[in-house]
Structure 1
Amino acid sequence: MALQIDTLAYTNRLRQLPPEHKLLFAIALLLITYCTSVSIQLAIAVWLSVWTVIYAKIPAFIYFRLLLIPIGFWLTSLPAFIISGVGVEHLAAVQADIWQGITWGNVYLYLSRHGIQQAGALAARAIASTACIYFIMLTVPFTELLDSLRRVGCPALLTELLLLMYRFIFVMLRTASEIWTAQQARGGYRTWRLWMKSLGLLVGQLLRRTLENYRQVSQALDSRGFTGDIRIWHSRRYKTSKRYSLEALFGCAVLVALTGWQYVVGV
């Protein structure tokens, strides 16, 4: 999946647009997401889905499969939001917050109306924020993202560390996949005991091979006269699009206006 994401970032239909434009667009929507209501957050998620799936031509299956990740984390936290308990003697104090409930001994367990509202607000914000991040991930190659960070004054040491970390993510995933396949071919996960033993061996081998790959990369850089500065060449052959620029500006302006109007109405 990680390699596929990297491939899509280089082959999407918005590839020719300047990365700075896409970054500013996603960051502006991310800021709006944290200042607005649930309805506008859902509108941002839908609008960015249109940009990602229709404009950038990212396969819908991959995109919505990625969106299942934050939804999965949200589902794991859902019981903590919506399920509450109170002593039977204090039941009258929370009567307005009870949607459904049952008595269990001296405790009354119930579904909280306020908790359900909080869970819905959290889901909308998480999906909208994740859509902003995915738009950057799927339309801006990582090297161009680092180049943009350097242009705005980000320290070179930080961008180089990010580049090396990004490189070793793929190394670790490939190595883990190879070890996992080899262990499965030998029946290493047939029982729970073998599963735990094989997993421990996988982690140990993964660490050893990652350190070995790091040593090889260090030797390769030294043999090529590395002086402490990793330089990446970019052709900068980008084309601005008036249509996309106007749509982004107009959409952000409408979202900001709707957010301000909701604050005024709320007051």
Structure 2
Amino acid sequence: MHHRIDALAYINRLRDYPPHQKLVFAFMLFSLGYIAPLHLQMVITLWLAVWIVVYAGIPWQLYAQLLTVPLFFGLTSSLALVFNMGHLPQAAATKDVLLGVGAGHFFLYVTLQGLYQALQAIVRSVTITSTMYFVLLTVPFAQLVTVMRKWGCPPLITELLFLTYRFIFILAEITTEMLTAQRARLGYINCKRGLYSLSLVVSQLLHRTIEEYKEISLGLISRGYNGKLTVWSERGYHPQKRYLFEALAGYTLLLVTTVMHYSR
């Protein structure tokens, strides 16, 4: 999965579009998606899906699979907003109660306001995550680091990001190899053995990661590492006026609609 995402960032249809423009576009939608009303957040999510799936050519199956991550965390975290508990009879007298169950002196209930707040939280998380997916799937990490350096980001931060990004792939690769080996030996044939196998993965993961870190450090030193990581950056970008016009026009329309919504 991780290697496929990294590969798509280099071969998508928007790869020749200037990375700084894609980053600005994603940041503007990120900010707007945080404050926009619910219906406009849904519009932003659908619009980003068009950019990612149609314009960039990312497989919709992969994008749908990625969206399950914010959906899952949104659903699990919104349970506290949906379900409320109070003492009888005050809780039962709440006006917007849709469903309730009494248990002794307590009353577990669901309100219309709670459902709306949960929906807001889920949609906002999906919208904001979609903007980050746009950057992840259309901007190669080397270009991202280059743009951040041009914008004056401290070298320490960019190098930490680069190393963190590298170690994410290392952890994913090590975990996949260990899980595959355990499945081949029927390590997850039942619940008890599955928990034991999972504990082995966790205990060995730190050791393997430290070994990989030592190998990377030796590799950098052998190649003359002087405290600065240099990445290759392509300069032959080909901006298209059509995409630029659509981005500006669409964002302006969303911004004006948001202002009109809150100025009522």
Band the TM-score falls in, shorter-chain normalisation: over 0.9
Residues 208, 21 of structure 1: CA spacing in aligned structure 2 closer, same or farther, 3 A cutoff? same
Partner of 1:50: 50
Partner of 1:248: 247
Give a deviation string over 1:165-184, Cα, whole Å, max 9, x none. 11111111111111111122
TM-score in terms of structure 2 length: 0.96
For the pair 1:164 / 2:198, whether they are aligned, the reply is no
Comparing 234-243 with 84-93, which one deviates more in the overlay? 84-93
Q: Which residue identity does 1:121 align to in structure 2?
A: Q
Give the number of aligned pairs: 264
Give a deviation string over 1:64-91, Cα, whole Å, max 9, x none. 1111111111111232111112222314
Partner of 2:83: 83
- Partner of 2:35, secondary structure, is coil
Q: CA deviation at 1:150?
A: 0.5
- Partner of 2:236, secondary structure, is coil
Partner of 1:10: 10
Asked whether the 8 Å contact 2:33–2:41 carries over to 1, the reply is yes
The whole-number CA distance in structure 2 between the counterparts of 1:36 and 1:54 is: 24
Partner of 2:225: 226
For the pair 1:192 / 2:179, whether they are aligned, the reply is no
The whole-number CA distance in structure 2 between the counterparts of 1:221 and 1:91 is: 64
For the pair 1:61 / 2:61, whether they are aligned, the reply is yes
Q: Which residue identity does 2:224 align to in structure 1?
A: G
- Partner of 1:84, secondary structure, is strand
Residues 91, 194 of structure 1: CA spacing in aligned structure 2 closer, same or farther, 3 A cutoff? closer
Give a deviation string over 1:104-132, Cα, whole Å, max 9, x none. 22222211111111011112211111111
Comparing 202-211 with 9-18, which one deviates more in the overlay? 202-211
The whole-number CA distance in structure 1 between the counterparts of 2:125 and 2:165 is: 24
Identity of aligned residues (%): 42
Unaligned runs of 5+ residues in structure 1 are none
Asked whether the 8 Å contact 2:78–2:121 carries over to 1, the reply is no
- Partner of 2:109, secondary structure, is strand
Residues 86, 206 of structure 1: CA spacing in aligned structure 2 closer, same or farther, 3 A cutoff? closer
Partner of 2:25: 25
Equivalent positions of 1:126-165 (< 5 A) are 126-165=125-164
Partner of 2:99: 100
The whole-number CA distance in structure 1 between the counterparts of 2:108 and 2:40 is: 33
